[in-house]
């Protein structure tokens, strides 16, 4: 691999001149610059990243911290998220380092920071271990969560408003005349996202004079069978829901299957809105709430870049990404 010294020799100049030419700094005659750039091209020279990092004290890498393997009751390593981060990062000349939250003594994230490997951090999911965030804040090290963090953690974050989205979907049912509405959570209630969506659902009911009935709520785990079980429970009720808000696509498909088995047609007998407008929702013509993961990822990375370029400590910021309901076959509001 060519070094700056090789280029300098090839072009017949000092290594400082090469540095100037490459970084566009200093003052160089057009002729010298051209001569140097030619040598650079000829030798396929690229400045060594370690040397640059050492001398400048800055490294052009951001870390992406994935949840501990096994936590994934949905798939987090979403293509949209990864390429969203990648698009923004590469536009700013940054690389992405992948790492996993290990729940070990010292978090991997902190190691990367202390080794000077990263200049900022994005977290896909809030860690259970809030200590990491506290330490990062103490160091004034920039980081952004791509998910709403638990109360009291002092973080930058970007996410959709899950409560609001659930509220609006439920409201949309109510406006269409539904008075008995089922809710299936996307996962266990320990997850904030489950609690927030439930809260939005509940709030819409109470706000419009409808009773909140626990038998119309099912704690899902995001798969087909769980959706079947939910609908099973709902159909066994004396007065069954005429509309269901599902927390995940697979839940929605399980619900549809049970409906079909029972001879209930959708949307006539049971209307359905599901979270997540994924390809699956499109394929199956499901009315779906768009969770724009690519946008979340891009905005989070932009926010991180902003925090990186502000060396002085600043207040944590959060960005709420709007989420739209995409109306399809399983429910359309009456006009």
Q: How far is the CB of 22 from DNA (least distance, A)?
A: 6
Contact positions with DNA (CB under 7 A) in 35-54: 45, 47-48, 51-52, 54
Q: How far is the CB of 284 from DNA (least distance, A)?
A: 53
Radius of gyration of the chain (CA): 26
Residue 252, both tokens: 């929605």
Among residues 301, 275, 295, the alpha carbon closest in space to that of 286 is found at: 275
Select the binding partner of residue 19 from a copy of itself, DNA, none (C-beta < 5 to 8 A, by kind).
Answer: DNA
* Contacts made by residues 147-152, CB under 8 angstroms, sequence distance 24+: 147/123, 147/192, 147/193, 148/192, 148/193, 148/196, 148/318, 150/126, 150/192
Provide the 3-class DSSP secondary structure of residue 181.
strand
Measured over the CA atoms of residue 259, residue 264, residue 267 and residue 270, the dihedral's sign is negative
**195 backbone dihedrals φ, ψ, rounded to 5°:** -65, -40
300 touches a copy of itself by CB under 8 A = no
**How many residues sit in the footprint of DNA (CB under 7 A)?**
30
1 touches a copy of itself by CB under 8 A = yes
115 touches a copy of itself by CB under 8 A = yes
14 touches DNA by CB under 7 A = yes
Q: 59-74 in b/e burial notation, b at 16+ Cβ within 10 A?
A: bbbbbbbbbbeeeeeb
Select the binding partner of residue 4 from a copy of itself, DNA, none (C-beta < 5 to 8 A, by kind).
Answer: DNA
Select the binding partner of residue 318 from a copy of itself, DNA, none (C-beta < 5 to 8 A, by kind).
Answer: none
Contact positions with a copy of itself (CB under 8 A) in 207-246: 223-225
* CA 292/CA 252 separation, integer angstroms: 19
139 touches DNA by CB under 7 A = no
* CA 141/CA 111 separation, integer angstroms: 13
Comparing CB distances to a copy of itself, the nearer of 23 and 48 is 48
Q: How far is the CB of 221 from a copy of itself (least distance, A)?
A: 12
Count of alpha carbons within 13 angstroms of residue 294, beta-carbon side: 8
Return residues touching a copy of itself (CB under 8 A): 1, 44-54, 59, 61, 64, 66, 69, 72, 75-79, 82-83, 86-87, 90, 95-100, 108, 111-112, 114-117, 223-225, 250, 279, 283-284
What residues line the site for DNA (CB under 7 A)?
2-5, 13-20, 22-23, 25-29, 31-32, 45, 47-48, 51-52, 54-57
């Amino acid at each position: 691999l060519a070094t700056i010294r090789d280029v300098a020799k090839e072009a017949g100049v000092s290594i400082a001149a090469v540095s100037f030419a490459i970084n566009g700094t200093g003052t160089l005659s057009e002729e010298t610059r051209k001569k140097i750039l030619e040598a650079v091209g000829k030798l396929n020279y690229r400045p060594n990243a370690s040397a640059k990092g050492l001398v400048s004290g800055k490294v052009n890498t951001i870390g992406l911290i994935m949840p501990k393997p096994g936590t994934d009751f949905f798939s987090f390593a979403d293509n949209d998220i990864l390429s969203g981060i990648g698009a923004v990062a590469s536009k700013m000349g940054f690389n992405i380092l992948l790492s996993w939250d290990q729940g070990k003594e010292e978090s991997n994230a902190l190691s990367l920071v202390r080794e000077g490997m990263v200049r900022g951090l994005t977290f896909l999911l809030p860690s259970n271990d809030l200590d990491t965030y506290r330490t990062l804040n103490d160091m004034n090290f920039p980081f952004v969560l791509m998910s709403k963090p638990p109360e009291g953690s002092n973080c930058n974050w970007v996410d959709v408003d899950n409560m609001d989205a659930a509220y609006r979907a439920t409201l949309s049912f109510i406006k269409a005349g539904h008075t008995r509405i089922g809710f299936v959570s996307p996962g266990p209630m320990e997850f904030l996202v489950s609690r927030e969506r439930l809260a939005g659902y509940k709030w819409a009911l109470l706000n419009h004079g409808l009773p909140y009935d626990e038998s119309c709520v099912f704690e899902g785990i995001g798969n087909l069978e769980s959706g079947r079980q939910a609908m099973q429970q709902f159909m066994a009720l004396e007065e069954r829901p005429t509309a269901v808000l599902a927390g995940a696509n697979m839940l929605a498909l399980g619900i549809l299957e049970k409906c079909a088995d029972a001879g209930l047609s959708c949307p006539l007998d049971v209307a359905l809105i599901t979270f997540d407008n994924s390809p699956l929702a499109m394929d199956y013509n499901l009315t779906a709430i768009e969770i724009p993961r690519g946008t979340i990822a891009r905005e989070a990375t932009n926010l991180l870049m902003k925090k990186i370029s502000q060396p002085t400590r600043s207040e944590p910021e959060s960005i709420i990404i709007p989420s739209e309901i995409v109306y399809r076959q399983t429910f359309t509001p009456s006009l």
